[in-house]
């Protein structure tokens, strides 16, 4: 079994390129047009003894609506290059992410390495600054 330690998870799903927007742009229905639907994800893989893994492995990432069980709302499998145990991927590169997958409450990422079962616990996703520009939040500041 391979163990994974999440070093960093940055959600740029709503964190796109900075653009010169004014307050009327924030109120338009197109305010998220320039924001990429991708999530950078980084981690560290070790074997059962804690030794870093090297090589290319197929890793399946799945987005869930619950910490355990739940429904897989999205998934994709990537051939990931792992160096000294470290890996970095962009979720959504192969299977696009949709804003609908983030429209409800909390979300978790499940990770499966090759033919192993999904690792536990799942990783809870959290908010990044751009997410605060969601229409509900910005309406409070108008």
User: Can you give the pLDDT at residue 32?
Assistant: 54
Q: What angle do CA 82, 88, 89 make, to 5 degrees?
A: 115
Ranges of the chain whose pLDDT falls below 70:
1-35, 129-142
* Beta-bridge mates of residue 69: none
Domain edges within the chain: 3-139
User: Can you give the pLDDT at residue 130?
Assistant: 59
Overall pTM surpassing 0.85 (yes/no): no
Give me the architecture of the 3-139 domain, per CATH.
Sandwich (2.60)
User: Can you give the pLDDT at residue 109?
Assistant: 95
Among 63, 55, 18, 56, CA closest to 39: 63
pLDDT tens by residue, 13-42: 333 433 334 444 444 445 555 667 888 999
User: Can you give the pLDDT at residue 101?
Assistant: 85
């Amino acid at each position: 079994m391979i163990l994974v330690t999440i070093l960093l998870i940055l959600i740029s799903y709503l964190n796109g390129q900075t653009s010169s927007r004014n307050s009327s742009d924030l109120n338009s229905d197109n305010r998220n047009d320039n924001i990429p639907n991708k999530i950078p994800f980084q981690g560290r893989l070790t074997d059962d003894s804690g030794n870093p893994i090297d090589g290319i492995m197929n890793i399946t990432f799945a987005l869930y609506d619950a910490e355990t069980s739940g429904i897989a709302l999205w998934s994709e499998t990537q051939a990931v290059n792992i160096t000294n145990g470290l890996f970095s991927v962009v979720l959504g590169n192969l299977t696009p992410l949709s804003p609908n997958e983030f429209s409800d409450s909390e979300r978790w990422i499940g990770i499966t390495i090759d033919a192993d079962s999904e690792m536990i616990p799942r990783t809870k996703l959290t908010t990044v600054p751009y997410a605060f520009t969601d229409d509900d939040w910005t309406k409070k500041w108008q």
